[in-house]
Amino acid sequence: MTGCPIETKGLTKEVVSQFLRKRTRILDGVDIKVEQGQTFGLLGLNGAGKTTTIKLLLGLLKPTAGTATVLGKTAGSRDALQNIGFLPENPYFYSQLTARECLLFMASLFGVTGEVARERTEKLLALVKMTASANQPMNKYSKGMLQRIGIAQSLINEPQVIFWDEPMSGLDIVGRRDVRQILHNLKEKGCTIFFNSHLLPDVSEICDTVGILHKGKLISQEKIATISTQGNYKDLETYFLHSIGESDVPEPEDSTKRLPR
């Protein structure tokens, strides 16, 4: 593979309403580069276009203009998808299946069967701490339990690139801690990670770089170490609010860290 594992150039998405045939631009010329082994957090208000960006990178949507590539391949191509792990914001499963059956089924979709599939399934159930509930039908699971299985299924093919949309959704304090540890372990293995989140403490701890998406435009992109040398998520909050133009946020005292308005 050459180049960045995740890259977009001028990525634009427009939709047309069925009623008034009004054209709305959801994404507008977004340029993103995520280097190998980097963890990238995409931040933005509700409706900024974060989930649309992930769907375009997965090939679930087609761009109106611009390009998106994953692992050097056109987004959505078979070669790219074979090496991607995806967790949607609200994962949905066949509710009559147990977690163990679900993971075995997901493995089979990637051509992983037999003893290898069983070993990966048990390893991932342990990783997300769902072994004890693995034989229960998933219609008995809480939202947090479903989120844990969603994380497990996104790793069943041992992906090189991971896309997670709000991975902390529905998780309690212990669950969030567990997911942070999983992400740290994936980083150590060299995985490239792209995720959306509104939880700035988690983003500040996990990410190498963040991008700010506002009204469909990527208005800022910066390394976490530059935003906060101490790892304080409040610095990230200030950076975010200044980036989107919140006028009631005081200017940082250190002029070397002056933030864009």
186-217 residue pLDDT tens? 999 999 999 998 888 889 989 999 999 999 99
Count of helices and strands (H, E) across the chain: 9, 10
The first and second tokens of residue 254, run together, are 């250190």
Q: Is residue 114 part of a domain?
A: no
pLDDT at 169 over 80: yes
CA distance 36 to 161: 9
Whether the pLDDT of residue 255 is over 50: the answer is no
Q: Residue 256 corresponds to which tokens in the numbers above?
A: 């070397």
In a domain, 117, yes or no: no
CA dist 217 to 8, 32, 45, Å?
13, 11, 12
> Domain for residue 129, yes or no?
no
Q: Classify strands 192-196 and 39-43 as parallel, antiparallel or unpaired.
A: parallel
Q: Per the domain annotation, does 88 fall within a domain?
A: no
pLDDT digits (tens, 9 = 90+) for 51-65: 999 999 999 999 999
85 part of a folded domain: no
- Which amino acid is located at 163 in the chain? F
Whether residue 232 is contained in a domain is answered as yes
Number of domains in the chain: 1
For residue 40, give the CATH number of its domain.
Answer: 3.40.50.300
Say what the pTM is: 0.87
What is the domain extent for residue 213?
1-71+190-261
Q: What is the pLDDT of residues 114-140, one digit of tens each?
A: 999 999 999 999 999 999 999 999 999
Q: How confident is the model at residue 246 (pLDDT cuts 50, 70, 90)?
A: low
In a domain, 2, yes or no: yes
Any domain includes 195: yes
- Decide: 186 and 167 in contact? Cβ < 8 Å: no
